[in-house]
Structure 1
Amino acid sequence: AIRKAGLVRARVDGELLELDSIPDLAIRKNHTIEAVVDKIVIRANAETRIAESLRLALRLADGLASVSYLTPELADQAKGNLWTEEFFSTLYACPDCGVSFEEIEPRTFSFNSPYGACPACEGQATDSSTCTQCGGARLRPEALSVRLAGKNIYEICSQSIQASLEWFEALPVSSDQQPIAKPIIIEMLHRLRFLVKVGVGYLSLSRGADSLSGGELQRVRLATCIGSGLVGVCYILDEPSIGLHQRDNDRLIASLRDLQQQGNTVIVVEHDEAMMRHADRLVDIGPGAGNQGGQIVAEGTPTEVEQHPTSLTAAYLRGDRQVVQAGPRRAPQKKQILKLQGASLHNLKDVSLEIPLGLLVGITGVSGSGKSSLIGQTLVPALARALGQDPSNVRLRSPVEDKQARTAGPYRSLAGHKLVDKLIEITQTPIGRTPRSTPATYCGVFDLIRVVWASSRTAKQRGYSSSRFSFNAGAGRCVQCQGQGQEKIEMNFLPDLFVTCSVCNGSRYNRQTLQVRYRDKSIADILEMSVSEALEFFENFSKIQRLLSSLEQVGLGYLCLGQSSNTLSGGEAQRIKLATELARPETGRTIYFLDEPTTGLHFEDVRRLIGVLNGLADRGNTVIVIEHNLDVVRSCDWLVDLGPGGGAAGGEIVACGTPEQVACEPASLTGQYL
């Protein structure tokens, strides 16, 4: 092979020999045979020959070469082996220590790929305590050894988006690196600037998507759309203002306008007044909800729609109807205060919080300021644990939610909890995840309705009890769909598909059960009724009336009693839970916690919701809401405003007091909008 390559020398066991003079080698011994590509005396203009010889050596040895050299000073000495030898490699390997790894590719830097993920935690670690090998970086040591301007990919991604933008803007790139690096850096800066523009510059690039709020996730997706630079695309956004402070909402509106000015169409389903007024065209659907809706009531520019005589939306835009109802505020009592001291979870900076009891309390602040960390992840679990001596008094979560105990974020002390009987957290998580769960079953009204059907003449003649009219169990349900009214078709790699049952046609019951009628209605007919229709139908049943009235009171009169829970929005699920709690007896010493209860609500629904929350506070209860809707914020008795910014720039209480007092605080962004 050496002779075929056109070479004439070889080094055998360290001795330089001509190929024609190599002696016979012992068969049973190991020998080192190396091809000698060139022997050069270094003179001026020898660079070209050296480079060609080195290329040939690397090609013949598949990326490995050794160079033996002798300096002039050592060459004058007569004795000893004075040659210095160094190994070189174009492979991803170190000839000295023997460490090697595969060729570096984009997947090397992905913790979602087995080629890049840390072998110990398989890319699942989130901090140094989770995985001692990668320290929470989630990547292999090889990936973390690659550095750009002194930083590895984990160190770059651990910075905030704003800091990463500044770092890449200042990144030194040499002239020979420009052809490769410049297009990539330009594209990265393009995307980072859009993320900063939509108001999420405080987030780190390595932040887990599951830890983002709904508003943050929505804006990250929006930045992706804007940064793509596509033209002629129709974007449809469903309530993008959810979870946004008014400052962030203004930024969102500007970003949507940028998207439109690039030559795209932007359709937004929205209840936010500022978004409506900035639209080029409004389409108002109504006039009511459910069976009372489904028509285009008004269409045109915001100014044209505002003048429409019958549109409920127009009445609020004109100011003829007001969400906030004038009236005196409830005053805080000095001895009725819940105190949490030293909260330091995430970006919270040793925060001490005081919640006046018996009031409607609003927690405000820009996105990422620490509202959820302070209330949802520290105060709520801490208070639940303090009230845990009597578990029946603590109803934290709905049956379908995670049953694992929640650990409160770090804090020093909690005081005033003895003034509270129970804590109720009303979240937006689904009330159920299958067609079996419905508003009627969740709030308990269906149990009472089944008793009515079991007391009918036909049911008594046949010996049917109330269990016969349950579609979740018993002999009364359809055998084919097991009472779901739908059959599930598994789609393998796609989401499961539900189709109407071909046997019961979606009624959930078998033929014999449907023959039992009360006032000419079967039990399946009741499930098809809206809450408002059922309220009228059961006007003589006080217990059923009480449960249905609470649903109507929170603005859910349009919902069908048998509507599957997996078709409900988060706002509807939250209001069903609120209505269920309203129908229960309470002591007047309960704390209710709601996170963004106005999600998905029209002005009229917000007005009703404020009335319900005020009703709870009027009875001596404490209602804590995390909210950005300015109408709800103005309706609160007491505000706690966090900020001043998001992420590291937040985590402090900027202002607290009545809405009027917060409005006078110059450091409060919420106060400026109030």
Structure 2
Amino acid sequence: MSNKSIDLGEQKDVEVYGARVHNLKNIDVSFPRNQLVVITGLSGSGKSSLAFDTIYAEGQRRYMETFSAYSRQFMGGMERPDVDKVSGLSPVIAIEQKTTSKNPRSTVGTITEIYDFMRLLYARVADAYSYNTGEKMERMSEDQILQNIFNKFDGLAVNILAPVVKGRKGHYRELFEQIRKQGYVKVRVDGEIKDITAKMQVDRYKIHDIEVVIDRLIVDGKDKKRLLDSVQTAMKMGKGVIKISDKDNNVAHFSKFLMCPTTGISYDEPQPNSFSFNSPYGACERCDGLGYIFVVDKESVMPNPKLSILNGGLAPLGEYRDTWMFQVLKSLAKKYSFSLSTPIEKLSDEVINIILNGSPDLIKVEVEYNKWNVQNYNITFDGIIKMLEEQNEKRSESATDDMDAFRKLKTCPECHGARLKKESLHFKVDGKNIFDLAS
């Protein structure tokens, strides 16, 4: 942040003359500006009367006077404090003393409400940067978008694209049908232009980017109206975002919102709650704004590697019992050729990793309910760690202590302890994000 202070001419001090608020007895006092000044004294000596009811009140009154008469009628009047004169006064902020809190979401900034002012500052004046490339984000008007298209693609044949799906799974059969009914005949799926056909769909288990081809034209000055109409249509369908691609598949991204000019990622317009770790609009989604997460500790799950799985080598499961989880582990051992009787320290790293973190391969679990009823189930095994994490999410308070034995605190790998979404952390003032400033 800049160290420049407000220029009030040659006056270096704040001067108060004839202060008579509450128990102040017509006192005169001066103190230096732009320095830390402490007002101290016995209880009832007038410290708060001077700081809050005289100096702060006069600063607020002067600020209110800068508003129009129409605006002031909705704010209520502020009486002038009982003082002859206050000079050298710059804009003022008062932070009240607050009681401490054991809430893990509270900080000195939130308790004193200073952080509220910082959030407002970043929402209004911060510059946005791409979390992918570090480039400054851009927003463009329609005229600027058109000018950039002419600058980059003049004389070239281009596709004007409206993004409708970005980085999501699904078959999108209904979407393709809806696009076809609107009269469009081509889409760009994962970078490839395709004709829209009846009952068209894509792999539902893969992540896709889908854009509607709004128009295909040559960029020149002969038909600016067609280009403008196509850009406007694409902006409407793409909700403020469009792409332009040429025959070599070079793609340019444009948006009326904040957007990275290289990768096309976009941010919502910042609001004060975008920088609040107590709001879903600003909090890191991985740690819910706490800055840390609970992770299952491998050493706690396998505290004694000399034991086998059957003999209690997996602490959360204990010794062998006729339960579903042990049936799954028996099937897992059969598939990956290891024994539940082998001490854990003699199992391969690959097997231990599968036990802890699971495997995408299908395994067949045979469950014998009685000698006439044997059922086979084909499942994937997610691992002991995932099982414990799911139990933790569903656990009752009475089970907290049991779960804590297998968990430890870890700095959130997504926000690195900053508690905010990565988008929020890439708004900067003078090169610092709000976490840097608040730390």
- TM-score (normalised: structure 1): 0.19
What TM-score do the two structures reach when normalised by structure 2? 0.26
User: Greater helix percent: which structure?
Assistant: 1
Structure with the higher fraction of residues in strand conformation: 2
- Structure number with greater CO (CA < 8 Å, separation at least 6) is 2
